[in-house]
Amino acid sequence: MARRFLFEVRDPGRAESESVARRLSQLGFQLLYSSSRVRLFANQPDAVRRLGKMVVFGHLFERDAMPAPSAEPSTILDIRCPAEVLRHYWGGYSLCFESDDRVEIMRDPSGMLTCYYGSWDDIFYVASDVPLLCEASGQQPAIDCHELGRTLYVNGLPQRTTALAGIFQLLPGMTLKIVKGRADEAIIWSPWTCVDRQAPNLNTFRQIVLDCITAWATQFPSILIGVSGGLDSSIVALGARYHTELHAFTIATGDPRGDERSFARSLAHALNIPLFEATYDLAAVDISRSSFVHASRPGGRAQLQAYDKLLVDLAERHSAKAFFSGVGGDNVFYLTSSARPLVDRHLMGGTLVELRSTLLDICRLTGSTPWQVFRQALQIPRVPGPKYHWRPNAELLAPAVIDYLKEEQLTHPWLDGPVDSLPGKAAHVAMIIRAQGYIEAQDRRFPFEPVHPLMSQPIIEACLSVPSWEACRGGSDRSFARRAFTGDLPPTVIERRIKGGPDHFALQILRSHLPAIRARLMDGALVRNHIVDRRALEVALSETSLASGGRYTRILSLLDAEAWIDGWSTADLRPSWL
């Protein structure tokens, strides 16, 4: 099962809440740590480590990629504060540090273990997931319509605020400092500390990636991995194949553009791992349910229900204890089709020969002419100041919502880079932020542990140190990673340049349920609360708009948001995959 935890933080001398312990005990949680101010409840006792004055929950590895020993601090490194943990360890974890005047909760930079918090009756609760937070506190949070509209506007940008009143997200690489009933957040790890490091050579980079995947794989006796035959999931399968019982699966749409089975077969044959093939099942989708009902904000898609149900079924069939994926690979390996690498190389003093080489790489990668690349390069900010502006999505939102939100600057602690930061690196950081937004969607109630090894902290740090122009060298996307694994993976993977996806299935859902979708959206909570523009929605749902593909992605997002609202309004948080 997925690892779940809850820290309860209270003022010294305040009596422990018996009701919290009772409610969590009924859910199968144990009290694993207790002090005068803090209690830790969790569902897996072996996931707890003590490091000096800190208690850590989750997966913890030493920097040599080996699991941290389950031992007292005297037998391992002398760790005195959370910052030292970041220097000597990595993984998917949260930790609690107690000092004389405060309690500090830190979330690791990978984002693989989600973390939310709220305060009720002068007690802070910090948990791995929102349903657990509500169970422990006995609270049923109300939907915050302002933040709900903001969620739909910020276009996947992770935020500390959520669409549930009184519930906040602790972002990766942040700490929550609780002092005398007050909580403040602070950044403790920044991606910008990595960009000026010496980049590893290809062999060293390959070893860093494989070491991280191996470390994760050794934690589980059996693993289910989703593969597409693309670069990212293939690298993960390569790293995991010798260290556990590994079963792969791939899922296809009825359209050739969403059918990657031939690529997955080639990979499975090359690595000698069993492969299960499936197609998306329309019967597995219930448009009245949300694939994000467990989350603090909407953001799901109906097609995820079919994927998750298959995933749970296969995991049970193979007794898999974890699900691995290549999620985050495009982001950490910096899949880009922009002119930013050319601007970076210019700002770093590249010679004319070097600039010409990068220019031609981008032309080969994108199919653009040199003039088109130059024109885009001139539009990229080069003067001191912000180098990346997160683009919102105002599609189908009510004009009043857009008016008050467009005045807000979309921010994130990691977007605030140095004034002289490179625009390519700024975009790279933004892509990593976006991947972490996707990871937040994982349901911690899954009967297995979701793991995305390519989002491991050492891999992120290594990738950030690689110059952006290396990601498009030779006219290939993710070129640095692709070159590092050329000798390990079949040519069908290394030379592949196309990507599949569930778009055809998404359109199938929309067209098969169109009358019901129209009714749910046109008379739904988003329209009633003036978050969505009813007239624009009506046009988007017209036959003319849908015939051309229209705005189906946004429509399905709004559909899932309606189901998310229903779930939280009625306290029906049952997983959509059941």
Mean pLDDT of 490-501: 90
Tell me how crowded residue 5 is: count the other CB atoms within 10 A of its CB.
26
Distance between CA 141 and CA 130 in Å, rounded? Answer: 10
Distance between CA 574 and CA 317 in Å, rounded? Answer: 22
Mean pLDDT of 424-448: 95
Q: At what angle do helices 352-366 and 370-378 cross, to 10 degrees?
A: 110
Encoded tokens for 480: 């640095």
- Percentage with pLDDT > 90 across the chain: 85
Mean pLDDT of 502-519: 93
pLDDT at residue 12 tops 90: no
The closest of 8, 35, 41, 22 to 117, measured between CA atoms, is 8
pLDDT at residue 73 tops 50: no
pLDDT digits (tens, 9 = 90+) for 255-265: 888 999 999 99
Distance between CA 251 and CA 227 in Å, rounded? Answer: 9
pLDDT at residue 576 tops 60: yes
pLDDT digits (tens, 9 = 90+) for 554-572: 999 999 999 999 999 999 9
Mean pLDDT of 414-421: 93
Q: Which residue has 């657990």 as its token pair? A: 132
The amino acid at 166: G
Mean pLDDT of 421-434: 98
Mean pLDDT of 84-102: 94
The closest of 436, 562, 443, 450 to 132, measured between CA atoms, is 443
pLDDT at residue 515 tops 70: yes
Mean pLDDT of 241-261: 92
Which residue has better confidence, 311 or 409?
A: 311
The amino acid at 521: L
Encoded tokens for 65: 């990629």
Q: Please give the pLDDT value at position 78.
A: 67
Encoded tokens for 127: 């948990």
CB 405 within 8 Å of CB 425: no
Q: How sure is the predictor about 578, in pLDDT bands with cuts at 50, 70 and 90?
A: confident
Q: Please give the pLDDT value at position 334.
A: 98
- Percentage with pLDDT > 70 across the chain: 97
Q: The pTM is what?
A: 0.96
The closest of 295, 574, 301 to 441, measured between CA atoms, is 295
pLDDT digits (tens, 9 = 90+) for 213-240: 999 999 999 999 999 999 999 999 999 9
Q: How sure is the predictor about 65, in pLDDT bands with cuts at 50, 70 and 90?
A: low
Mean pLDDT of 180-186: 93
Which residue has better confidence, 499 or 403?
A: 403
Distance of CA 145 to the CA centre of its chain: 24
Mean pLDDT of 300-312: 94
pLDDT at residue 549 tops 90: no
Q: How sure is the predictor about 71, in pLDDT bands with cuts at 50, 70 and 90?
A: very low
Q: Please give the pLDDT value at position 74.
A: 38
Structural domains of the chain, ranges and CATH numbers in brackets? 5-189 (3.60.20.10), 190-333+424-578 (3.40.50.620), 340-423 (no CATH)
pLDDT at residue 141 tops 80: yes
pLDDT at residue 70 tops 70: no
Q: Please give the pLDDT value at position 386.
A: 87
Strands (E), 328-411: none
pLDDT digits (tens, 9 = 90+) for 323-378: 999 999 999 999 999 999 999 999 999 999 999 999 999 999 999 999 999 999 99
Distance of CA 370 to the CA centre of its chain: 35
The closest of 157, 168, 447, 440 to 312, measured between CA atoms, is 447
Q: Any idea of the CA torsion for 317, 322, 323, 324, to the nearest 10 degrees?
A: -140
The closest of 96, 116, 101, 106 to 11, measured between CA atoms, is 101
DSSP 486: T
Q: Please give the pLDDT value at position 153.
A: 98
Distance between CA 224 and CA 240 in Å, rounded? Answer: 10
- Mean pLDDT score across all residues of the chain: 94
Mean pLDDT of 134-153: 96
CB 136 within 8 Å of CB 41: yes
